[in-house]
Structure 1
Amino acid sequence: MGAMLMIRTQKVRIYPNRHMKKVLDSLCDYRRYCWNEGLATWNDMYDLYTLDSNSPGPSFYSVRNELVANKADWQYELSARTLQLAITDLGNAWKNFFDKAQPDWGKPTFKSKKAARQGFKTDRAKIVAGKLRLDKPRGTRDWYDITISKHTDLSGVLKVASIYRENGKYWASLPFEVELDTKPKTGDRSAVDVNVGHLNYTDGIIDTLPKRLRKLYQRIKFYQKQLAHKRVVNRKKATKSNNYGVMRAKLQRDYCKVANIQHDIMQKFTTKLVNDYDKIVIEDLSVKVMQMSHVASKGLQRSMFGYFRQTLSYKCKWYDKELILADSQYPSTQWCSKCGRIKSGSDKITLQGNASHQTKHNEYVCYGCGAILDRDENAVANLLDLI
Structure 2
Amino acid sequence: MIVKTRIYQLYPNQTMKQVLDDWCDYRRYCWNQALALWQDLYMAHTILDKVVATVFIPKQDKKTKKWKAIHRDQHLNPSPNWRLVRDRMIEQKNDWQYAYSARTLQLAVQDLGKAWESFFNQAQPDWGKPKFRSKRNPRQGFKTDRAKIKDGRLWLEMPRETPYKDDWTGIKLSEKPLPGKIGVVSIVRINDKYYACVPYKLETPVSKAKTGKEAGIDVNVGHFNYQDGQCLILPDSLKHLYLKIKFYQKRLAKKRTVNGRIKGTQSNKYLKTKAKLQACYQRATNIQRDLMHKFTTKMADEYDQIVIESLDVKAMLMSHVASKGMQRSMFGLFRQLLAYKCAWYGKELILADQHYPSTQRCAVCGTVKKGADKITLKGNQKHGTKHNEYICYNPACPNYGKTVDRDVNAMKNLTLLISHPELNKAL
TM-score (ref. length: structure 1): 0.87
Deviation at 1:238, TM superposition (A): 2.1
Residue 398 of structure 2 is aligned to residue 376 of structure 1: no
- The yes-or-no answer on 1:30 pairing with 2:26 is yes
What does residue 72 of structure 2 align with? none
Aligned length: 382
Q: Could you say which residue in structure 2 is the equivalent of 1:277?
A: 303
Instruction: Determine which structure has greater relative contact order: mean sequence separation of CA pairs < 8 Å that are 6+ residues apart, divided by chain length.
Output: 1
| CA shift digits 1:39-82 (9 cap, x unpaired) | 45556666677885988666544554554455444434322222
2:381 partner SS: coil
Cα 1:286–1:47 change in 2 (3 A) is: farther
How far does residue 326 in structure 1 lie from its aligned partner after superposition? 1.5
Unaligned runs of 5+ in 2: 51-74, 419-427
- 2:154 aligns to what SS in structure 1? strand
SS at match of 1:339: coil
Pick from 231, 244, 252 the counterpart of residue 270 of structure 2.
Answer: 244
- Against the structure 1 CA distance between its residues 313 and 233, is the aligned structure 2 distance closer, same or farther, given a 3 Å change threshold? same
Does residue 229 (structure 1) correspond to residue 254 (structure 2)? The answer is yes
Among 94, 113, 116, the residue aligned to 2:135? 113
Partner residue in 2 for 1:201: 226
* Offset of residue 284 of structure 1: 1.8
Listed one character per residue, the Cα deviations across residues 98-121 of structure 1 (whole Å, up to 9, x for unaligned) are 6999xx965544433222211111
Tell me which residue corresponds to 1:11. 7
Q: Which residue of 2 aligns with 1:139?
A: 161
Counterpart amino acid of 1:114?
R
- Pick one of 167, 170, 186 that aligns with 1:162: 186
Mapped contact 1:191–1:383 kept (Cα < 8 A): yes
Using a 3 Å threshold, how does the CA distance of structure 1 residues 10 and 74 change in structure 2: closer, same or farther? Answer: same
Hey, what's the Cα distance between the residues in 2 that align with 1:273 and 1:107?
37
**TM superposition shift of 1:17:** 2.6
Q: Per-residue displacement from partner, 1:164-188 (whole Å, max 9, x unpaired)?
A: 1112122212222234421001111
* Higher-Rg member (1/2): 2
Q: Tell me if structure 2 keeps the 8 A contact 1:124–1:135.
A: yes
**CA apart distance, 1:385:** 2.1
For residues 192-222 of structure 1, give each alpha carbon's deviation from its aligned partner in whole angstroms, at most 9, with x where no partner exists.
1111111111111111100000000000010
Q: SS of the counterpart of 2:308?
A: strand
Judge conservation of contact 2:183–2:200 (CA < 8 Å) in 1. yes
Q: Distance in 2 between matches of 1:45 and 1:343?
A: 57
Q: Please give the alpha-carbon distance, in whole angstroms, between the structure 2 residues aligned to 1:339 and 1:56.
A: 64
Quote how far apart the aligned CAs of 1:89 are: 3.2
1:219 aligns with 2:241: no
Deviation at 1:373, TM superposition (A): 2.6
Instruction: Report the counterpart of residue 187 of structure 1 in structure 2.
Output: 212
CA separation of 1:321/1:197 partners in 2, compared to 1, >3 Å: closer, same or farther? same
Q: Deviation at 1:132?
A: 1.4
CA RMSD of aligned residues (A): 3.0
Consecutive unaligned residues of structure 1, counting only runs of 5 or more, are: none
Q: Secondary structure at the match of 1:385?
A: helix
After superposition, residues 61-80 of structure 1 pair within 5 angstroms as: 61-65=83-87, 67-80=89-102
Q: Distance in 2 between the 1:357 and 1:57 partners?
A: 63
Deviation (angstroms), 1:278: 0.8
- Paired residues of 2:11 and 2:174 also in contact (CA < 8 A): no
Is 1:334 aligned with 2:360? yes
Whether contact under 8 Å (2:10, 2:174) holds in the other structure is no
